[in-house]
Amino acid sequence: MNYTPARWLFGPNLMTIFGPVFRRGPRAPLTRERWELADGDFVDVDRMAGPADAPLFVALHGLEGSSSAHYIRGLLKQAQLQGWRGIALNFRGCSGDMNRLLRSYHSGETGDLDELIQRVRREADRIVIAGCSLGGNVLVKWLGERHTPPEIKAAVAISVPFDLAGCARTLDSPGFWRWVYRTRFLRTLKRKSLLKHAKFPEAFDAARVRKARTLYDFDDAVTAAVHGFKDAPDYYGQSSSARFVQNVRIPLLLLSARDDPFIPAGSIPTAVPANVTLEVHEKGGHLGFVESPFGFYAERRAIEFLRSNL
């Protein structure tokens, strides 16, 4: 497609950090709503108003992100320019308020997305979805493991960690930038989990959390223990979305970059069903795709693909 990477961002790491560090993100008018869940917990969603008969766009953020992430704001703004309505889901514990229950969100947790979709089906007969990074993994897994409701017309998944074990090994390996990414994720993950431990002291070993220096250590100590997996490898194996791609039955765009510093290029699927469009660029970083002279290709391309399949 028509994507020319920004020449002034040399290397995948600058492409990756540019948005989070330097971009505020476009503003679309949003209203926050708290939705009660069937298990007694809640999620916060940000709603973008629009005409009652307009398509509804659903956005899913990445690991330790939220609806305020620059790429979610960018997607919502692009959707607004189309005249669509929008909803950005904050996964449990990601809206700024801690969720009530011990369990949280993780890369393979599709139940909250399913509950959200079942709810919005009552208000829209044309729904399109975009998931970013972890949110993309959740989206692809959900599409592949369940019967897709007829209201879901198309989906886009950007910078998907198709192989969670491989991504953990990549981020846990030596190198300055990987240390930066790993430290950023672990800081908030550990803080949240220790707050949960204060409320649920028997749930997992807080000492292991404090000692965790890798994402694997954290997932083995907390993610697996809290969410019913035997250990981190079991969590990665059951939650990786690569094996679900073949079961997707609606139009789906998978947008990835070979130089993504989080995701090994070898984990990107090479054989996909006819209804799945695989778009892999040599450059783009992780959720970067800053284009020359200045713009954000992934957001533009996502909305273009979704519009073409309505």
Active-site residue set? 133, 260, 286
Give me 72's structure tokens: 């979610």
Residue 94 CA to residue 61 CA, distance in Å, equals: 10
Tokens 């550990």, residue?
Answer: 190
Distance CA(25)–CA(32), nearest Å, equals 18
Q: Give phi and psi for 96, each to the nearest 5.
A: 110, -20
Helix or strand holding residue 33 (H, E): strand 31-36
- Cβ within 8 Å of residue 66, ≥6 positions away: 72, 90, 94, 95, 96
Structure tokens at 48: 């973008």
Q: Give every strand in the sheet of 127-132, ordered side by side.
A: 31-36, 42-48, 85-90, 56-60, 127-132, 152-158, 252-257, 276-281
Sign for the pseudo-dihedral over CA of 60, 63, 66, 71:
negative
Q: How many CA atoms lie within 13 A of 142 on its CB side?
A: 28
Within 10 Å of residue 173's Cβ, how many Cβ atoms?
11
Structure tokens belonging to residue 302? 């996502």
